[in-house]
Amino acid sequence: MTYFTISGLQLALAGDDNLALVGREVNALKKRIPGIDMVMLGELSLFGACPRHEPPQEAEAALCEIARRNAIWFIPGSLFEHRNGKIYNMAPVINPEGQVVTRYRKMFPFRPYEENITPGDEFTLFDVPDVGRFGVSICYDMWFPETTRSLVAEGAEIIIHPTMTNTIDRDVELAIARANAAINQCYFFDVNVAGDYGVGRSIICGPGGEIIHQAGSGREIITIEVNLDYVRRVRQRGWHATGQPLKSFRDSTVSFPLYRDGANCTDYLNSLGRLEKS
């Protein structure tokens, strides 16, 4: 069996600098449960949702030190990255040696409300040696099924998905998380923020779309031991010997017109008007 323990920190947050709080939470968690292998936070947990706050370079170094000191893989939510005159919503992936191994830039900012944020254009996967392959997406990305399917098509078995949601559609997002897990036969870790930042209700789903845990609305530490062999068996035989959608997708001869270059701009979709605040 290939086991790996992941903790999602649904923290009750306020203000625009939570770096010290995050450090205390991770340190305390690792002391309480030494066997944790990975820790993840909700989207924009460190400095909040205002892009005018440019995190100092020392912030990432401090996050790397948290990972190194606790010997964990660490995905500390996301933060706004100022790069080449543009602003990205970026999630770093830090290994147990305290090194940033990759960075994911959110492909689908929550427009028109997440203003002046440049979409990323690269999918992000990383391997944990002797464990498996992980993919990263952020919040609104999961509303676009192509994002998770693209990660899974490259071998992702667990999707790490930091979220910041404080809107009425959280119920819908819970259904979307389950659907992403089921149709892609993967673990899906959707960790939201609480307090002033969000409504909580993080959800962890298994490769059959089953709910492993659904959090309440306040601070909650969610520690889940995953089994990568379970994902591989589900992909091989179906969930409880039911459907095998990844194989069917692979074997299909359908060429979807919508996915040809520029074909997403159909006459009907263009008729919906501009993307703007209503």
- Does 206 map to a domain? yes
Provide block-wise average pLDDT over 10 residues at a time, the chain (278 residues).
95 95 98 98 94 72 97 96 92 97 97 92 98 98 97 98 97 98 98 98 98 98 98 97 96 89 84 90
Nearest to 231 by CA among 144, 133, 128: 133
Structure tokens at 50: 């205002």
* Structural domain count of the chain: 1
Domain containing 93 equals: 3-244
For residues 80 and 53, the answer to whether their CB atoms sit within 8 Å is: yes
Residue 220 sits in a domain whose CATH number is 3.60.110.10
pLDDT at residue number 232: 98
Predicted pLDDT of residue 52: 67
Q: What distance in Å separates the CA atoms of residue 58 and residue 163, rounded to the nearest whole number?
A: 24
> What is the C-alpha separation between 214 and 25, in angstroms, rounded?
20
**Residue 53 confidence (pLDDT):** 61
Q: Determine the Cα–Cα distance for residues 10 and 208; give it in Å rounded to an integer.
A: 24
pTM: 0.96
Q: How far is CA 224 from the centre of its chain?
A: 15
Contacts of residue 56, defined as CB under 8 A and 6 or more positions apart, other chains included, come to none
How much is the pLDDT for 259? 85
* Tokens standing for residue 111: 């427009």
Residue 90 lies in a domain: yes
- Under 8 Å between Cβ of 191 and 45: no
Residue 252 forms part of a structural domain:
no
From the list 22, 20, 19, the residue with the least C-alpha distance to 10 is 22
What is the model's pLDDT at position 91? 96
In the chain, DSSP assigns E strands to 3-10, 12-13, 38-41, 73-75, 79-83, 86-94, 100-105, 124-128, 132-136, 158-162, 187-191, 194-195, 203-205, 211-214, 220-227
Q: Are 197 and 44 in contact (CB under 8 A)?
A: yes
pLDDT recorded at residue 170: 98
209 lies in a domain?
yes
Say if 260 falls within a structural domain.
Answer: no
At 258 the pLDDT is 83
Whether the bond into 245 is cis, omega within 30 of 0? no
Assess if residue 263 is contained within a domain. Answer: no
d(CA 153, CA 11): 32
Instruction: With respect to residue 78, please indicate whether it lies within any of the assigned structural domains.
Output: yes
In a domain, 75, yes or no: yes
